[in-house]
Structure 1
Amino acid sequence: MKTTTKKWLTTATSVVLAAGLLAGCGTSNNNNTTNTGDTNAGGNNATTNTGTNNGGTQALSGKLVIWTFFDQVKDMAEQFHAKNPGVTVDVKMFPGDQYQTKLLTALQSGKDVPDIFDLERGYIGKFIDSQFLTDLSAKGGDDLVKDYIPYVQALGRSTDGKLKAISDHSSPGGFWYQKDIAKKYLGTDDPDKISDMVSSWDKIIELGKKVAADSGGKEHLIQNAGDLFDIEAYNTQPWVKDGKLTIDPKWQTVYENQLKIRANNVDAKLPFMSAGWGNALNDGSVVLTSMPAWAGFMIDNKDNKANGKFGVAKTPEGFYVGGTYRGIYSKSPNQDLAYEFIKYIAGTEWQQHNLEKTGNMPGNGAVYEANLDTYKSPFFGEQNILKPYYESVKAMPAIQPDKYGEDILSKWRKAAGDGIANNSSYDDVVAAFKKEVKNTFPEVSVD
């Protein structure tokens, strides 16, 4: 999972009023195994037999082992087994904070390696160019993602453009708001009108000034100036190019906007995922909260009291938080069967099921388009919430991951966050940031 996503989970006990499935980036701290089907069926040698299964495709048999940190893979395995009863899917789930190390150890030793393994957005760049991942492009994988959201398919590609991993979902974000609070301070609860009102940071700053003035300083437009980090993080150029640290000039504009937000009382100054942050989301003391679509677990919905209470508007630029990808171990003896599983999760049938069951936004654009005018979510009443998410994420740049991106982004987040708190100049923030990058990554050239 993405680094910030992990923070949601590790601090959630202090702010979650109603626990639920973390659809899209969920994890479990259970170290368990889930088997679907006869555990003796096919052993670990998969075969493809002639004939048809209940899905009308070539019957499959054999066994697959999948490693994950993500609880929802169990349902994925069950759905695949239902269509392919001759296939046993053994899902082994490990705590998220241990998973990456355990997986890397297994891959390096070559012992007890799964056929398929999950990679989280926060560290996929460290694996994507490795020898451990099967080239899915060579198997026809590019066709599987031809209708995908551009950024989602790009994150599964190595630096040479080969498809190495596929996600079954996207993790779009938007501004969530309580409708009655929006009406009081913004004059409307219409998501399209609010989206236009906050379509730029300049508009947000001016609107935030008004909200603060009208409320006597008791209400704030957004939670924290740091919200800009997540919203702009993947709308900027990669941090390292040809071995050299590159700071996109856009970060200066972002930082200067953050200083203006803080200076003009636009934000509530609530640290990300703090108890106050969660309380503000639920009591409406902040008008807009930037939230990923999968984060409904943060809403207090005891006795369905939050149903129909919220709306979602677009942010100035599209953003996403997290993402889970699946790749095939390059030395797996079950390559063909594993690819059939990857093919299934990339398809519309599974992603439609996933959307309906969990509200997990699809990675496949065809599923978005099929549901734009019909899909509803209890929190958001009659709003067609796929529309703002789809319009935002489909326009995001398709940037391939690398081994530096997430770690360097976290260092920028820290340096800029300190700078906002201390009202530091942009030059001072850059100097502190460069020092951290140079100390951590001596192989990267830093001017």
Structure 2
Amino acid sequence: MNLKKWFVATLAIMMVVSLLAACGGKSGDGAQDSAGNTNSETSGDTTGDTSAAPGGETGELKGNLVIWTFFDQVNEMAKKFEEKHPGVKVEVKMFPGDQYQTKLLTALQSGRDVPDIFDLERAYIGKFIDSPFVADLSAMGADELVQNYIPYVKELGVSADGKVRAISDHSSPGGFWYIRENAKKYLGTDDPDEISAMVDSWDKIIELGQKVYAESGGKVHLIANAGDVFDMAAYNVEPWVKDGKLNIDPKWQEYYEVQKEIRNNNVDAKLPFMSAGWGNALNDGSVVLVSMPAWAGFMVDNKDDKAVGKYGVAKTPLGFYVGGTYRAIYEKSENKELAYEFIKYIASPEWQEYNLNKTGNMPGNAEVYEKNLDTFKSPMFGDQNILKPYYEMVKAMPGLKADKYGEDILSKWRKVAGEGITNNTPYEDVVAAFKKEVKNAFPELQID
């Protein structure tokens, strides 16, 4: 591949991601860092140890690593890795999320000051995963590291040729969060299993939403936005591009009609994701079920511990995730073996269980989910075993590879379809407008 062409093409279509970078720019999936998440079991796993390590003859790791990231939690990873391997020094360089891609692309293209390891966010990993700058981790044994991973977490780090080239340590799942007292008032229960059953289909959501709106005198809505369906549908459909041709999964028509029904029947509060009103609704109860990624606990007002035990989490009709940060090794790094030891560590149950208990980050490794299903607690959710609803959803989601088109085309669909929902536009007209947008952005694609 011509590196200059790859660089120019990637830079031209690069999407600036700031608010959602690093799964919201926060260092945890739970209510807060070091929030007192409790688990009656502790990990004794030593995965990541090596008996033949770079820099030492007796298995002791030695050397220096440089990691580039936009995610503050990498400092904690580096600290724990250094504690485990005192002979290693890890330098973490942090960059603002809206500058990171440009800095990384410039370094890769120039070949100067390139880090040994660099982070890639879900929103743009597809633009890097097949590039010649990203090392083949499968050749270093990574297939074994991810053999027990959640399928979609594994596949997002796999290139088109089937090689593992990037690995994440978390799964970033989402669910319906609710204030328990609010749920009792409008749904008649705060039990997560009962609520999950009440909203396990779009028809049930629409019917229940009409009931909540009527009984509250129009002051309370069941969900925040019809656009939540985009998140739930996005990674449960076919890829947007197949064999160089735009592919619109027929399911999108079903989801679009559902979204219009939600909007037309006052089921949603019309609050965009991450808007001020959306955040307020999560705290004031004006929305009963808020579609939330597990890492977004920082949105909850927990001053004086007033959120402790206040919330529950239920399953959504389709499992979904938001964000996700992956780690890759620079192909020309002089420290590839040592860098791989770091990748092994963050992929291990040892790190992921520590991370779960420290921050509430939902793991990428299914073994960590299963081991902690009955023991993990997060203060904000009281006695609920919150791993259960998340795990049931994530393990059912398809494993789909990232590509350079997917996230940008999805963004265009959100825009055009979102306008269509607001204006009650027929699906056929939305598709026609969408195709024009895609054609303008990606003239190389075949569009019928």
Asked if Structure 1 and Structure 2 have the same fold, meaning a TM-score greater than 0.5 normalized by the shorter chain, the answer is yes
State the TM-score, normalized to the length of structure 2.
0.90
In 2: Cα distance, 1:226 partner to 1:126 partner: 25
1:23 aligns with 2:28: yes
Q: Between Structure 1 and Structure 2, how many residues are aligned?
A: 412
Q: How does 1:184-333 map onto structure 2 within 5 Å?
A: 184-333=185-334
Query: Where in structure 1 are there 5+ consecutive unaligned residues?
Result: 13-19, 26-45, 52-57
The residue type equivalent to 1:434 in the other structure is K
Contact 2:21 2:97 in 1 (8 A): no
- Pick from 49, 57, 69 the counterpart of residue 56 of structure 2: 49
RMSD: 1.7
Residues 21, 246 of structure 1: alpha-carbon distance in 2 compared, 3 angstrom cutoff: closer
The residue type equivalent to 2:55 in the other structure is T
The residue type equivalent to 2:412 in the other structure is K
In 2: Cα distance, 1:134 partner to 1:269 partner: 44
Shift of 1:50: 1.9
The residue type equivalent to 1:411 in the other structure is K
Q: 1:157 corresponds to which residue? A: 158
* Secondary structure of 1:59's aligned partner: coil
Deviations 1:221-249 (A, max 9, x none): 00010010111110011000000000000
Contact 2:16 2:98 in 1 (8 A): no
In 2: Cα distance, 1:395 partner to 1:6 partner: 29
Deviations 1:214-273 (A, max 9, x none): 111111100010010111110011000000000000000000000000111100111222
* Secondary structure of 2:61's aligned partner: strand
In 1: Cα distance, 2:403 partner to 2:272 partner: 28
State the TM-score, normalized to the length of structure 1.
0.90
Shift of 1:9: 7.5
Shift of 1:22: 4.0
1:432 aligns with 2:447: no
Shift of 1:7: 3.9
Contact 2:179 2:312 in 1 (8 A): yes
Contact 1:22 1:295 in 2 (8 A): no
Q: How does 1:81-160 map onto structure 2 within 5 Å?
A: 81-160=82-161
Q: 1:416 corresponds to which residue? A: 417
Identical positions, percent: 73
Deviations 1:195-229 (A, max 9, x none): 00000111101111111111111111000100101
Residues 333, 5 of structure 1: alpha-carbon distance in 2 compared, 3 angstrom cutoff: closer
* Secondary structure of 1:207's aligned partner: helix
Residues 381, 389 of structure 1: alpha-carbon distance in 2 compared, 3 angstrom cutoff: same
Shift of 1:282: 0.3
Residues 396, 60 of structure 1: alpha-carbon distance in 2 compared, 3 angstrom cutoff: same
Residues 208, 3 of structure 1: alpha-carbon distance in 2 compared, 3 angstrom cutoff: farther
In 2: Cα distance, 1:348 partner to 1:438 partner: 44
Shift of 1:48: 2.8
Q: 2:393 corresponds to which residue? A: 392
Deviations 1:344-376 (A, max 9, x none): 000011111111111101001111111100000
Deviations 1:388-416 (A, max 9, x none): 00000111000000000000000000000
In 2: Cα distance, 1:99 partner to 1:144 partner: 27
Q: How does 1:376-387 map onto structure 2 within 5 Å?
A: 376-387=377-388
In 2: Cα distance, 1:161 partner to 1:320 partner: 22
* Secondary structure of 2:164's aligned partner: coil
Shift of 1:47: 3.6
Deviations 1:330-351 (A, max 9, x none): 0001111111000000001111
In 2: Cα distance, 1:324 partner to 1:160 partner: 21
* Secondary structure of 2:344's aligned partner: helix
